[in-house]
A and B are shown apart, each in its own frame.
Chain A
Amino acid sequence: MKKFDKDRMILGFAGPVLALVVAFALTTLVLLASGRNPFEPYRLMFEQASYADIQVLIINQAGTYYLAALAVAIGFRMNLFNIGVDGQYRLAAMMAALVGASVDLPGPLHILLIVIVAMLVGAFWAGIAGFLKTTRGVSEVVATIMLNSIATSLIAWLILPKNFGDQAAGSNNLTTGDIPESGWFPGVSLSAEAGEIYGFTFVAAGCGLVYWFVLNRTRFGFDLRATGASESAAQASGVDAKKMVLTSMLISGAVAGLAGMPTLLGDTHTYSLDFPTGIGFTGITIALLGRNNPLGIALSALLIAFLDKASSSLDQFGYEKEIATIMQGLIVISVVVSYELVRRYGTRRQQQKVGEELAAGHALTTEKEAAL
């Protein structure tokens, strides 16, 4: 039986590897077509990544991406496309920052409060889409896209100085006020020049473990996966599909709410106009590339974070840093294509192998044969 497991492992890796190779090849073509040296940018990026401070940046960024991608992956496992992670984490981060700045609690409690607020807000925002889907049949894709833009407007309005925002003297930036130091999540400092790894990055890793455990080892996780694999079969098996849609949207939103926490608790300590945006969309790429597998997502998050952070200095050498963006886009396309190819190949191959094994008489012994 080991044979089939090994096969599945190899095929599991074949998808992402194929996708990355194709994406790299296509990016090289793009570079060639624009008359650039097709290999120099890669060398520069790897050189960048060898500096400790860039490495810390990559890890911190990866932690944020990881949470966003987990949120997306929860939806994917259920066949739900939560495109709204972006709106969910921004609104959640802002609300959490507001609450965090307005109270003063002893350390751990303060952090806990901020995190819980973020999860609740994220869940609420995703829950709207879940509610619309279960009651009115509105596609969660459409609802979450719209909720993203509503979130943008809502944040812009809430952060106005006449509402909840602060404007520091002499600055154009609007913030939600500073969270007192008791609400800062301690980081891990490697060395003075390298900087700090956000403490929340480890929470993100913990979330990955919880994700794996819940999906693979609990009844709830089984129901969720079954619903994703075949809604009709899950329904026949006793899963309440509507309840499942709503629940998984809420969980996805709650995890999305966490995506802003590494930055908020570890770096900015306030929500401002220049708070990072677009992480939710990057999360979709990462979840896709990581095949919704917690380890795969972690590796993909690191890869994308590497592309982001290592490419930022390309400008200095006369290469556009958008090369990395092109590459990310190409990765998404090749991932979708290569996974489908590998999946079909895998199914065919397994059917064939099962046929072979049976023809060779390697079936598990049956009662009848055992009796002989």
Chain B
Amino acid sequence: MPPLLSGQGECVINASSSPPAVELHGITKRFPGVVANHDIGITVRKGTVHALVGENGAGKSTLMKILYGMQKPDEGTIAVDGEQVSFNNPGDAIARGIGMVHQHFMLADNFTVLENVVLGGEKLHGIGGAARRKIKEISDAYGLGVRPDALVEDLGVADRQRVEILKVLYRGARILILDEPTAVLVPQEVDALFANLRELKAEGLTVIFISHKLGEVLSVADEITVIRRGTTVGTADPANTTTKQLAELMVGSELPSPETRESTVTDVPMLRVQGLSLGATDPDGVVRDVLADVGFTIHKGEVLGIAGVEGNGQTELIEALVGMRTPDAGVLTLDGADISHAPTRKRREDGIGYIPEDRHRHGVLLEAPLWENRILGHVTEKPNSRGFLLDPKAARADTERIVREYDVRTPGIEVTAASLSGGNQQKLIVGREMSHHPKLLIAAHPTRGVDVGAQAQIWDQIRDARREGLAVLLISADLDELIGLSDTLRVMYRGKLVADADPATITPEELGSAMTGAAAGHLEAAPEDEAR
């Protein structure tokens, strides 16, 4: 273990004499059969941004629920501002000045910002002029730039998040818990959020920041606590820690290096898309282009990444390629054969592998056992069937192989898909698709909701298959993943491919500005002197 990481239980030396904002000691929480948290100890100093990092399922959320009074710990103590407390519900936590901003916003769309903020807190400053003044005051103090009379449905994601933060501050919170706040933001918005967090910190507030995006954690946090398998495994000082060290601490082993940039791109086209167009009528009766004259070619051994803020036509593009949606116009050629009018099953038999963006809707049958899920999508292919009959024996055997080779964590193949964690469901899907040696893999957010270890593994599998001539269409909200994995990058904005970029030179920030429509054409890396 690198020396800069102090081990668990070691005392954090406190510069100021005031007690820490939050001190958790020996927290243990058991659910029937599972220990979610085990002997967790965290000290959060006042006026700092303290990051809590860990893989999905490491126990971060349970811990925060305990701190916010949503669950009671079985063992251990919580001290706020040096005083022992015991929370029975979030109300107790709020009264103690703890506020939580959830990952999924809890705002009423058809209410104004003012109405949303006072909702449930009417007793604090009324619902009229006093409340508006208070909101302005908070907004100005922390540079949140919130307009009290705007309708929430008109606000973008970043603005909504600021409303959520304001809501918590309005209730007098001095300690803010932010659960994965950057998951929904583009890089520019993340920067703005971090600027807000620094303001909060400067005013003496304390922020607990939960994340698994390590780069962001390092840039904003004053202190980092790493959680692995339900327990704190160490703290780190962001000033002299690298993302790699942090990731290794998180996973508990050395990570394979993600950078193996040897090109495997050939000049044999695998998928050619020409003039793909799709119109849709929105509720107001206006016809708008969801896909407008989209065209690209993916060669054998090439990963084509498509960047874009969600809802700019990526979903429709994928569905048109898989054959779940009929485009108005366009020609699709797979490996030299015209598949524009082929049904989904034919396309999949012909070698399109599909890792869907919403795995519960499109990737698995939640209530069916794993081996039946292994058949899904490939029912006409070996080993799942012989002729018109299923071959459950062979399918079961092959499912066991997938579980083994793709490290799906399960006690067996008869359990339902619903009983596996999201990451393990994803590994099963990836394993299933790869088992049929696709010519083209359509991978939508292949590592969404997947922990770091599994993420690296999925990337490796995509890379390995690419080396053997697989063509990949990659769509992801994770810009690091897009840049790291793609050979070619395109940016999609309002149904059009508006820009292209070379992943070897582009930065997430530049990609981000093209995603919001601010840049188009070929994105050149900014000249050295300007960038640094």
Contact (Cβ within 8 A) A236 B324:
yes
Which residues of A (200-248) have their CB < 8 Å from a CB of B?
216-223, 225-226, 229-230, 232-233, 235-240
Contact (Cβ within 8 A) B411 A352:
no
| Per-position 1/0 for B405-422, Cβ under 8 A of A | 101011111111011100
Q: Choose one: A220, A226, A364; the contact of B376 (CB below 8 Å).
A: A226
Q: Choose one: B367, B379, B411; the contact of A363 (CB below 8 Å).
A: B411
Q: Choose one: B367, B377, B407; the contact of A367 (CB below 8 Å).
A: B407
Contact (Cβ within 8 A) B33 A353:
yes
Q: Is A169 an interface residue (CB 8 A)?
A: no
Q: Which residues of B contact A354 (CB under 8 A)?
A: 410-411, 415, 419-420
Q: Which residues of A contact B409 (CB under 8 A)?
A: 358, 363
Contact (Cβ within 8 A) A219 B390:
yes
| Complexed CA–CA distance, A239 and B378 (Å) | 11
Q: Is B404 an interface residue (CB 8 A)?
A: yes
| Complexed CA–CA distance, A220 and B415 (Å) | 23
Assuming the contacts A219-B385, A219-B390, A223-B379, asked whether A230 and B365 have C-beta atoms less than 8 A apart, the reply is: yes
Counting chain B CB atoms within 10 Å of each CB, which of A219, A238, A239 scores highest? Answer: A238
Across the interface, name the chain B residue whose C-beta is closest to A370: B404
Contact (Cβ within 8 A) A368 B407:
yes
Contact (Cβ within 8 A) A350 B388:
no
Q: Which residues of B contact A351 (CB under 8 A)?
A: 418-419
| Complexed CA–CA distance, A1 and B413 (Å) | 8
Q: Is A366 an interface residue (CB 8 A)?
A: yes
Assuming the contacts A236-B344, A364-B412, asked whether A222 and B365 have C-beta atoms less than 8 A apart, the reply is: no
Q: Is A104 an interface residue (CB 8 A)?
A: no
Contact (Cβ within 8 A) A219 B33:
no
B357 to chain A, nearest CB (A): 11
Q: Which residues of B contact A347 (CB under 8 A)?
A: 367, 416, 418-419
Q: Choose one: B33, B348, B405, B414; the contact of A356 (CB below 8 Å).
A: B33
B358 to chain A, nearest CB (A): 8
Q: Is B356 an interface residue (CB 8 A)?
A: yes
| Complexed CA–CA distance, A226 and B417 (Å) | 13
Contact (Cβ within 8 A) B420 A219:
no
Contact (Cβ within 8 A) B32 A352:
yes
Q: Choose one: B354, B379, B400; the contact of A364 (CB below 8 Å).
A: B400
Contact (Cβ within 8 A) A359 B33:
yes
Contact (Cβ within 8 A) A237 B410:
no
Assuming the contacts A5-B414, A358-B411, A359-B33, asked whether A218 and B405 have C-beta atoms less than 8 A apart, the reply is: no
| Complexed CA–CA distance, A351 and B347 (Å) | 35
Q: Is B363 an interface residue (CB 8 A)?
A: yes
Q: Is A161 an interface residue (CB 8 A)?
A: no
Counting chain B CB atoms within 10 Å of each CB, which of A236, A353, A365 scores highest? Answer: A236
Q: Which residues of B contact A43 (CB under 8 A)?
A: none
Contact (Cβ within 8 A) B400 A219:
no
A10 to chain B, nearest CB (A): 14
Q: Is A162 an interface residue (CB 8 A)?
A: no
Contact (Cβ within 8 A) B420 A366:
no
A370 to chain B, nearest CB (A): 7
Q: Is A357 an interface residue (CB 8 A)?
A: yes
Q: Is A362 an interface residue (CB 8 A)?
A: yes
Q: Choose one: A230, A235, A353, A370; the contact of B344 (CB below 8 Å).
A: A235
Across the interface, name the chain A residue whose C-beta is closest to B343: A240
Q: Is A108 an interface residue (CB 8 A)?
A: no
Contact (Cβ within 8 A) B379 A237:
yes
Q: Which residues of A contact B34 (CB under 8 A)?
A: 352, 355-356, 359
A271 to chain B, nearest CB (A): 37
B154 to chain A, nearest CB (A): 30
B500 to chain A, nearest CB (A): 28
| Complexed CA–CA distance, A139 and B228 (Å) | 50
Q: Which residues of A contact B35 (CB under 8 A)?
A: 359
Contact (Cβ within 8 A) B33 A229:
no
Q: Which residues of A contact B123 (CB under 8 A)?
A: none
Contact (Cβ within 8 A) A364 B404:
yes
Q: Is A51 an interface residue (CB 8 A)?
A: no
Q: Which residues of B contact A364 (CB under 8 A)?
A: 400, 403-404, 410-413
Q: Which residues of A contact B403 (CB under 8 A)?
A: 364, 366
Q: Is A13 an interface residue (CB 8 A)?
A: no
Q: Is A4 an interface residue (CB 8 A)?
A: yes
Q: Is B380 an interface residue (CB 8 A)?
A: yes
Q: Is B361 an interface residue (CB 8 A)?
A: yes
Contact (Cβ within 8 A) B388 A357:
no
Q: Please name the 9 residue pairs, one residue from A and one from B, whose CB atoms are nearest each other, closest first.
A: A238-B345, A356-B33, A357-B411, A237-B377, A236-B362, A1-B412, A238-B344, A354-B419, A355-B34
Q: Please give 14 more A-B residue pairs, beta carbons under 8 A apart, in addition to A366-B403, A366-B405.
A: A4-B414, A217-B390, A218-B388, A218-B389, A225-B368, A229-B365, A235-B324, A236-B362, A237-B344, A238-B343, A238-B377, A239-B344, A353-B33, A355-B34
